[in-house]
Amino acid sequence: MTHFKSPVRYNQGPSGGLGKASEFAGLPIGMEALAKYYTFDPFAQVNVDTIPGAAEEPGQGWVATAVNTSTITASDDITPPRMQFITDAAENDGIQAQYTAASGAGDFFKLVSGKLRYFECSFLLHDANDDADTVEQCDLFFGMAKADTTLLVGSTDYIGFHKADGSGVVNFVAGKNSTTMGDQISQSTGVTLAASNAGSGSANLNSFSFVATGTQTVFVYANGNFVATVENLTQLPDDEQLAPSMAFLSGEAVVKKMDVARFVTSIEL
C-alpha cells in the first residue's frame, strides 16, 4: 500500500499539470490507486524477511552482490525502520541489491507513453568519523536499472539518483544505452551533502523522488520540493524492463554505512 507523506493534490503544477505544487499532484488515492497502480514498497515493514538476499520472501527476489564481506542488515528498532548497507574496511568495498526475482518478474519498471511512474528514496550516511569524508568519499545509486552485477559502473539503462565518489552532490540521472553513470542525463537536485549531514540521526535523512509522465518528461523533487523538469526525447530508458536497484561503494579505507529508510515505486497499469 502506498504511504503518502502529504495530501494528494490533483492537477496542480506548471500549466495545470504535474510538477511544482506537489510531488503527488495528479496521482490517485483510495480504491483508484489500488486498482490502477502497482506499488512496490519493501520497506513497509523492515525485518529480516525484507533484507535483500535473505532466504524468505520478499528477500529472495533480491540479488545482492558484495565486494569482500560488505553486508545488508535490518534495523527495525529505530524510527523510521531502516535497511543498513555496510561496507568492508577497504576502499572500493561495497554492496548492491537489485530486485530481479527468480522468475524475472522483478524487472517490472518500464517508461511507457501516457503512463505515470513514481519513485522515492530516503537515506543517510554515517561512519566512525561522521565528517565531510563520510558523505563525500562514497558512490551510491537509488532507482530503477537494467540488471547488472556492477551497477555503478556497468549498467547501461537506468533512472534514479546518484552521488559520485569525491562529491556531496546528489543528481537525478538517467541513461539509455549509456556507457557511464550520468553521462547522458545528469540534473542537480540542489542537494549537496556536507559534514553537517553525516550521522545516524533521523534528522540527517534526505529524500529524493521523481514522477515520469511518459517517455520524455520527468519531474524531480528533493525533500518534497520541486527542483527540476527534465525533458529528453532520446535518452530516457524507455526500451528496457528495469529492476528496483540500490548500490553503495566506499571511496576510502573506512567502514561506511548507508541507512535506507524508504524505497518505493508506483507504476500506472
Q: What is the pLDDT of residue 199?
A: 95
Other Cβ atoms less than 10 A from the Cβ of 130: the count is: 18
- For residue 39, is pLDDT > 80? yes
> Would you say residue 1 has pLDDT above 50?
no
pLDDT digits (tens, 9 = 90+) for 167-185: 999 999 999 999 999 999 9
pLDDT of residue 54: 46
Most confident of 23-37, 64-78, 97-111: 64-78
- pLDDT, tens only, 96-155: 999 876 556 678 899 999 999 999 999 999 999 999 999 999 999 999 999 898 999 989
Contact 20, 221 (CB under 8 A): no
Whole-angstrom distance, CA of residue 120 vs CA of residue 245: 12
For residues 179 and 28, which has the higher predicted lDDT (pLDDT)? 179
Name the percent of the chain lying above pLDDT 90. 66
Amino acid 7: pLDDT: 36
pLDDT-derived band at 16, boundaries 50, 70, 90: very low
- The reported pLDDT for the residue numbered 166 is 97
pLDDT for residue 129: 96
Give Cα 207 distance to the centre of its chain: 9
In this structure, what C-alpha cell is assigned to residue 104?
Answer: 524475472
Among the residue ranges 45-49, 181-185, 211-215, 228-232, the one predicted with the least confidence is 45-49
Tell me the pLDDT of the chain averaged across its residues: 85
Whole-structure pTM value: 0.87
Q: Cα(first)–Cα(last) distance of the chain, in Å?
A: 15
Domain 14-268, CATH among 2.60.120.200, 3.30.1300.10, 2.60.40.3140, 3.40.50.720: 2.60.120.200
Which pLDDT belongs to residue 49?
A: 53
Query: CA-based angle 175:178:179, to the nearest 5?
Result: 145
Report the amino acid identity of residue 88: D
Residue 144: helix, strand or coil by DSSP?
Answer: strand
